[in-house]
Amino acid sequence: MWKGRFQQETSALLQQYSESISFDWRLWRHDIAGSIAHSAALEKAGLLTPEERAQIVAGLQEIGAEIEAGKFSFKSELEDIHMNIEAELTRRIGAAGAKLHTARSRNDQVALDLRLYLRDEADALAAALRAMQRALVALGARHADVIIPGYTHLQRAQPVYFAHHLLAYVEMFDRDRERVLDARKRLNVMPLGSGAIAGSTILLDRELIARELDFPAITQNSMDAVSDRDFAVELLSALALAAVHLSRLSEDVILWASSEFRFITISDAFTTGSSLMPQKKNPDVAELTRGKAGRVIGNLVSLLTTLKGLPMTYNRDMQEDKEPVFDSVDTIKAALAVFAAMLDGISANAVACAAAVADPMLLATDLADYLVNRGIPFRQAHEVIGKAVALCADKRCELPDLTLADYQALSPAFTADVFACLSVATSMNARQAIGAPSPQNVAAQLARWQAALR
């Protein structure tokens, strides 16, 4: 379809190397939609008769139905989805089909198709992120009274509600959703009519095409329109960060499900066994998700690296944009779906969680706050409680086992009520600041998210 200038057949080796139909076939819906809209502009410009346009639309719809039914035969020698559809259309309807490519290039055609595809996928990804949030909130609500140790440096730090920990990820995934939808705004711009680089001397109504395809805006520079893949990078960046959040949640799930923690039990439906050790129950969903996150991050780096050295405008290197885009979209959608389903089957082990949170050292900071409330500067209070912890190590006891005399030897600010603050319930009730995990705050946040996600 472009060989008028060439006198030799294309090498079979090059055809195999350069084809993209093996992966860009999935753009067929968007390519057909773009071609139908383009034909409307050609008709308005007087370049197609109403009869010719009707032939084109009917032919494209027929081809689309065959592709959807799995009955269409793609040809690698036609390189890509655009040429496969156009060539078949021309074969079926003749001259009218040959007119369809008037005033457009594969450069602006592929830019359009990719934007249409990612617009649809952004909506699907936003919905998948919402489903993930619902699963996290539901898990937290089922175990609203469970308290676990919070960790810093993977060392027990302070007590938190299990639901509070899960709600941290709800916040993360909400930012991911906002980033996806924000990226959608910038990709929702119509590039068709930019031609190969400099538009066309044939004037088409680009605003008509934009209306046909529900684009609120039109690209304003033809060179930028055909070379821009910022919109794809931006969405891949949002997905890479979502992958990082999924990976961090996976790490928590893996630890919590281990025999050492025993904080949660994952249903048999979302775990696997060992081919050798019959006792094993492995958290494969979390492990696979943690592993797949690397691929999604790599896809972002791959696309950035492809683009970084390209001169204006379109270069064939840009064919390499689609596989990382498709892979990231597919991977994140699959990970969100299976993870949300797994969360629905997780239960918290209240006894193991209670045993872990009974560690009195989790309340060391509460003791420092006790001294601060009695006029001791925090740095001095921190040092005093550090000495109390060291004394416990020497005496092989816990903080509640120290005597009042022990405490008063460290600071005269201690009185008999010091032991009242060495209670997890007291500690949790005292955490009333916005964003802190008091029982009232956690209940309010669960209710807020349940309403927002309803």
Tens place of pLDDT per residue across the chain (454 aa): 556 667 677 788 888 888 999 999 999 999 999 999 999 999 999 999 999 999 999 999 999 999 999 999 999 999 999 999 999 999 999 999 999 999 999 999 999 999 999 999 999 999 999 999 999 999 999 999 999 999 999 999 999 999 999 999 999 999 999 999 999 999 999 999 999 999 999 999 999 999 999 999 999 999 999 999 999 999 999 999 999 999 999 999 999 999 999 999 999 999 998 888 988 899 999 999 999 999 999 999 999 999 999 999 999 999 999 999 999 999 999 999 999 999 999 999 999 999 999 999 999 999 999 999 999 999 999 999 999 999 999 999 999 999 999 999 999 999 999 999 999 999 999 999 999 999 999 999 999 999 999 9
Distance, CA of 68 to CA of 166 (rounded, Å): 40
| Angle, helix 439-453 to helix 106-142, in steps of 10 degrees | 140
pLDDT given for residue 8 in this prediction: 77
Q: List Cβ neighbours of 402 (8 Å cut-off, separation of 6 or more).
A: 388, 391, 392, 395
Distance, CA of 268 to CA of 342 (rounded, Å): 10
DSSP-assigned beta bridge partners for residue 156: 151
Tokens representing 232 are 């794809």
Task: Please answer whether residues 400 and 421 qualify as being in contact, where contact means their C-beta atoms are separated by less than 8 angstroms.
Answer: no
Counts for the chain of helices (H) and strands (E), in that order: 19, 6
Helix, strand or coil for residue 215? coil
Calculate the CA dihedral of residues 45, 51, 55, 60 and round it to 10 degrees.
40
DSSP structural state of residue 436: S
Distance, CA of 60 to CA of 31 (rounded, Å): 10
Q: Which residues are designated catalytic?
A: 153, 274
Distance, CA of 219 to CA of 100 (rounded, Å): 21
pLDDT given for residue 13 in this prediction: 86
pLDDT given for residue 187 in this prediction: 98
Distance, CA of 404 to CA of 279 (rounded, Å): 48
Name which of 425, 409, 362 is nearest 152 in CA terms: 362
pLDDT given for residue 9 in this prediction: 79
- Using DSSP bridges, classify how beta strands 155-161 and 147-152 pair: parallel, antiparallel or unpaired: antiparallel
Give the length of the chain.
454
pLDDT given for residue 328 in this prediction: 98
Tokens representing 255 are 């630890």
Beta-strand runs (E) in 229-285: 264-265
pLDDT given for residue 309 in this prediction: 95
Tokens representing 2 are 């472009």
Domains present along the chain, CATH in parentheses: 9-102 (1.10.275.10), 117-355 (1.20.200.10), 358-453 (1.10.40.30)
The half-sphere exposure of 148 on its side-chain side, counting CA atoms within 13 A, is 23
